[in-house]
Amino acid sequence: MTDPSSLSNLHELTTTHLHLNWNISFEEKVIAGHVILDLKTLVDNVTQVVLDTSYLAIKEVTMNDASLQFDIAERHEALGSALTIQLPSALRINTSFQVKIVYATTDQCTAVQYLTPEQTLGKQHPYLFSQCQAIHARSFIPCQDSPSIKLTYSANVTSPLRVVMSALERGVSTTGRLSTYAFHQPTTMPTYLIAIASGNLTSRELSHRSQVWCEPEMIDAAAHEFEDTEKFLGVGEALLTPYDWSRYDLLILPPSFPYGGMENPCLTFVTPTLVAGDKSGVHTVIHEICHSWMGNLVTTKDWSHFWLNEGHTKFIERKIIGRLYGEKEAQLNCIIGWKALKESVELFGKDAKETVLQPDLSNGGDPDAFFSSVPYEGVVGGPTVFEPFVKSYVQHFASKSITTDDWKNYLYDYMERVHGQAMVDKLNTIDFATWIHSPGMPPVNPDTLFDASLAEACYTLANAWNNARESTDLSHFSAKDMASFTTAQKSVFLERLSDMSCLPHRLLEAMDGFYQLTAVRNSEIRFRWQLVCLKASYQPIYDPVVAFVTEQGRMKYVRPLYRQLNLASGGGAELARATFAKHKDFYHPIAGQLIAKDLGL
């Protein structure tokens, strides 16, 4: 068994459990302590443990209290440095043993962002949070950092501020200004789902198994925004299997959190940009809930099969949206997803390796550089037979890490068993090779896939603006045009506009006058409006863009806006670079690296 994104000797050893003993120092921006790995040999004659590390300071390695020799290899640019530990004697197959590694993180740790009090809502206390997907766990834990490894974990973490983790809490003990928080995660999971945050946190119950955590200043808004969480979990369970992780809590992070959400088990991390006041961001919570099955229970074996996590999650997310908000709303979500896919393909190029559903990562490339909408839109809907298949898929592969071939073989087995040869014949008409291995857009026509009922009004309005290019009479437009649109419909309208050739500044100014788009605080609308304006190099938007990309660090927004500002005439490039230089430390390390790359720095 190999994983192109891991340097560990995965074919010789597996980790069954990992225990962390951590001390957090906000002053030094360091986590120091030890990890105890429970390992088991898979073959005879194992003489070494090779672990993934990235920028760690390894101090000591012991086995049964005796020191072991170790060596840290020269760094591989994307994958980090292999830590090779010599075992005292060769071990036979199925031997279980423990190694303890004493270590500390360094200032180059890519998993953790430390925030100063000024970067938090309350402005009084520092804060830290982690983001490990895809291969950042190795920057705070020496481990077999591969999703092919499924382990349980436990942790004792000492900090002056509240600690939460992707696990169940076992208790807290306090000595002076420090408290030690104990956690355990009894369900096996991959290392990329280990997560921690520490800061001035408070929580509010949402249901018997859910609470929302955040800084006290936004707890009322957060509890209101996510009050329907239990409903989403219930529909997920009705579609799939009983929820396996006991608790489903949410943590609203500070604005620099780089993603919409991250499905850390027991504790989904979400961006505060979801707290819009109108529940328009709950699709992301539904998405993360779906990962409780798709990704967290059935996991990609390595990052080239990432689409198994995201594609199935999207499929179930849309089923839940359909059940709760109507099928037309689910279809609109598909239309928005298709547009995101098109944009990713346009950005990378239709022949680019990054647009392949199952990309080739065998040359040790950085999985973060492959991230896009491509793995999300691999499963775009499908017939009703696919829904019971997905339930059966979860039952069959729960607790396992699998490949695209495993998925395909099971698809054929299931369809033959449940629906007979006729369905196998239908499957045989699907061009799997193109879907899975070819770059570019999937081989289907989107117009035949989605019901555009809710999109029609958006297209009509966009066309009306498109047709107004030569006209001086704009009296047929008014603030009422979009009054009945949902956030998703406003998004579709703005996306349609950005597909058209740039509108003259005169029309952008008029549109802003009617719809007050520059003043909108909803991040989805703000983002898309700013993109439309930047594409037209409309200078009045430059300052609001700078404000938006420095108020929050969600990569979905900041990366396209920085890229587009960098292309805009009238000083866009200078402004983009100067803004990034000034605010670099605001961003999570992953976001900072990718924005710098986008700007060619």
Ligand X SMILES: CC/C=C\C/C=C\C[C@@H](O)/C=C/C=C/C=C\[C@@H](O)CCCC(=O)O
Return the residue nearest ligand X (CB atom).
260
Angle (CA) 87 88 93, round 5°: 60
Pick 126 or 311: Cβ nearer ligand X: 311
Min CB(131)–Zn ion separation in Å: 13
236 is a site residue for ligand X (CB under 6 A): no
* CB distance 434 to 311 below 8 Å: no
Interaction mask 251-290, Zn ion, x per CB under 5 A: ----------------------------------------
Strands 267-270 and 249-252, by their bridges, are: parallel
Of 113-121, 129-137, 312-320, 400-408, which part binds Zn ion (CB under 5 A)?
312-320
Residue 288 is a catalytic residue: yes
Nearer CB in complex with ligand X: 200/355: 355
Contact between 598 and ligand X by CB under 6 A: the answer reads no
Point out the annotated binding site for Zn(2+). 287, 291, 310
Nearer CB in complex with ligand X: 26/269: 269
- Tell me which H or E stretch contains 521: none
Rounded distance between C-alpha atoms, residue 504 and residue 488, angstroms = 25
Contact between residue 53 and residue 36 where contact means Cβ atoms under 8 Å apart: no
> Which residues fall in the annotated binding site for a peptide?
131-133, 258-263, 554-556
**366 binding ligand X? (CB under 6 A):** no
Separation between Cα atoms, residue 548 and residue 521, nearest integer Å: 10
Q: Does 368 bind ligand X (CB under 6 A)?
A: yes
The verdict on 367 binding ligand X (CB under 6 A) reads yes
Inter-axis angle of helices 306-325 and 229-239, to 10 degrees?
A: 110
Can residue 190 be called a binding residue for ligand X (CB under 6 A)?
no
Binding residues: 131-133, 258-263, 287, 291, 310, 554-556
The CB-of-365 to ligand X minimum distance in angstroms stands at 9
The smaller minimum CB distance to ligand X, of residues 328 and 556, is found at: 556
Report the site for Zn ion in 548-567 (rule: CB under 5 A).
none
Tell me whether residue 259 or residue 562 sits nearer to ligand X (CB atom).
259
Which of Zn ion, ligand X, none has residue 133 at its interface (CB below 5 to 8 Å by kind)? Answer: ligand X
The answer to whether 577 and 601 are in contact (CB under 8 A) is yes
Residue 329 C-beta: closest distance to ligand X, Å: 18
From 141-149, 260-268, 432-440, 462-470, span contacting ligand X (CB under 6 A): 260-268
416 is catalytic: no
Cα–Cα distance measured from residue 136 to residue 257, given in angstroms and rounded to the nearest whole number: 15
Q: What is the per-residue DSSP string for 102-153?
A: EEEE-TT-SSEEEE-GGGSSSSSS-EEEE--TTTTGGGTS-B---TT--EEE
Is residue 36 a contact partner of residue 45, using CB atoms and an 8 Å limit? no
* By the rule CB under 6 A, 371 interacts with ligand X: yes
> In this chain, which stretch among 189-197, 201-209, 210-218, 309-317 interacts with Zn ion, using CB under 5 A?
309-317
Per 3-state DSSP, what percentage of the chain is helix, strand, and coil (rounded to 5)?
40, 25, 35
- Restricting to residues 479-508, name those near ligand X by CB under 6 A: none
Residue 268, helix vs strand vs coil: strand
262 binds ligand X (CB under 6 A): yes
Which of residues 193 and 455 has its CB atom nearest to Zn ion in the complex?
A: 193
The Cα 257–Cα 195 span in angstroms is: 13
Residues 118-157, mask of contacts with ligand X (x by CB under 6 A): ---------------xx-----------------------
Cα 596 to Cα 326, 340, 585, distances in angstroms: 41, 22, 12
Identified catalytic residue from 12, 215, 288, 377: 288
Strand-pairing partners, residue 182, are 156, 171
- CA separation for the pair 172, 160 (Å, rounded): 12
Q: Which helix (H) or strand (E) holds 300?
A: strand 299-300
Smallest gap from Cβ 595 to Zn ion, in A, equals: 21
Selected catalytic residue, list 103, 114, 376, 538: 376
554 part of the interface to ligand X, by CB under 6 A? yes
Helix (H) or strand (E) holding 321: helix 306-325
* Residues found in the chain: 601
Residues with catalytic function: 288, 376
The residues of the shown chain that bind ligand X, judged by CB under 6 A, are: 133-134, 259-262, 303, 306, 359, 367-368, 370-371, 375, 554, 556
The residues of the shown chain that bind Zn ion, judged by CB under 5 A, are: 310, 313
